[in-house]
Amino acid sequence: MRKLDSPDHREPAEQLLRELHNQSILPFDEARALAPALYCDDAIHALELERIFAREWCCVGRAGDFATPGRYLATDIAGEPVLVVGGADGTIRAFSNICRHRGARLLEGTGEARRIVCPYHAWTYDLEGRLKTFTFMRDGFSPDGVCLPEFRTEAWNGWVYVNLDPEAEPLAPRLEPLGRILANYQLASYEPLFRVEEVWPTNWKILIENFTEPYHFFIAHKDTVEPALPTRMTRHEDDGGDGFTLFRQFRAPGVSYEYASDMVVLNDLLSEEERSMYPIINTFPAHVYSVSPERLFWMSLQPLGTDQVRVLWGVDVYPGSIPGGKAGEERVAELRAAFEKINGEDKGIVESIRRNAGSRHAAAGPLSPKERCLWHFQRYLARMLRDPAS
């Protein structure tokens, strides 16, 4: 029996890209799932890092995560160590997370720091990335011009995005249609509730596809999501284009809000339809989220390989929708447990799809009308992965 993903059974990356292109130009009625080999091929993974993640706007969290000066997140984008930090002037900046002395990683994880201190030789930078202290250096050494390289950041609807490409087009114009759709929710006002960072043993594209189709709700989430947001009541339209995909879930008649109580504060700007509707969005390439009048559930993905993806996820809430004190703590715990349960229902499936993708019997099946966002995502992948010289 052959080993899964053995090189002699994989299609060359060039052939996979041709197939992806040919598939992407088909009408939706003829669309099929991605070729399973696209989840397994190391050359495709390298192209995704080079042509997508190193050039696109990648979500690193919410503005509220960096509201306090010195609050930071250390992460990696396309293999590049990145440090996102809130400045004393209220500006959120992204720097190379590499010391300018001998290349040590400056900070890890998340936290709060008044200054950025290298753990190797204590070179110290301020929150604007400028070198300030440098113990035991030779006489005459000047810190002038010694700064951490800075990456572009952009805020949109309360999200913070980073782009490694200094020549990239700004993000906001591409998301203007989405901004109009979401305007009444006032997403920039939503407040952070909790954050989780995990590594899932699957391919990033599989997780994106899972999040952006409701076809699996009635079976995979039959006791969690389906009773409140039934598959039959989802609606797909041609919203999106170059910047995002979107479908809408609708709450079943008679079902209350997720944590409805006298503490819920509904946005008066919302229409009746919007109060019962949950937009599900992927801002390309890998920022997925669902919106409701009370809460914002989101994930930001970074591929670590063909079979590993780092998942930063969290929940934010509309101001006033969570009570204070012990009741609020219990509500937060309940909400986190609910989303961990839903994530758990998805984890086993997306992991199995990646394991099975290397099988000679894995095949790309036809898409359901409930999987229209997958077709849009394929078209995005084909655009981004094509040879720029072609």
Domains of the chain and CATH, by start: 8-53+188-385 (3.90.380.10), 58-163 (2.102.10.10)
Q: Comparing C-alpha atoms, which of 295, 293, 277 is closest to residue 214?
A: 277
Asked if 278 and 173 count as a contact pair (C-beta separation under 8 A), the reply is no
pLDDT at position 296 is 95
Number of other residues whose CB lies within 10 A of the CB of residue 258: 18
Burial of 182 (0-12, 13-18, 19+ CB in 10 A): middle
Give the per-residue pLDDT at 11.
Answer: 67
> Residue 109: exposed, middle, or buried by beta-carbon count in 10 A (0-12, 13-18, 19+)?
exposed
Q: What is the reported pLDDT for 321?
A: 84
Is residue 236 a contact partner of residue 72, using CB atoms and an 8 Å limit? no
Question: How far apart are the C-alpha atoms of 34 and 375, rounded to whole Å?
Answer: 9
pLDDT in tens, the chain (390 residues): 333 344 444 568 999 999 999 999 999 999 999 999 999 999 999 999 999 999 999 999 999 999 999 999 999 999 999 999 999 999 999 999 999 999 999 999 999 999 999 999 999 999 999 999 998 988 988 889 999 999 999 999 999 999 999 999 999 999 999 999 999 999 999 999 999 999 999 999 999 999 999 999 999 999 999 999 999 999 987 766 789 999 999 989 877 655 444 345 567 788 888 988 899 999 999 999 999 988 999 999 999 999 999 999 999 999 888 888 998 899 999 999 999 999 999 999 999 999 999 999 999 999 999 999 999 999 999 999 987 666
pLDDT value of residue 58 = 98
- What pLDDT score was predicted for residue 265? 56
- Give every CB contact of residue 289 below 8 A, 6+ residues apart in sequence: 280, 281, 283, 296, 297, 298, 299
Judged by DSSP in three states, 303 sits in strand
pLDDT of residue 91: 97
Question: Tokens in use for 160?
Answer: 């913070």
Q: Which residues contact 104 (CB under 8 A, 6 or more apart)?
A: 98, 118, 119, 120, 121
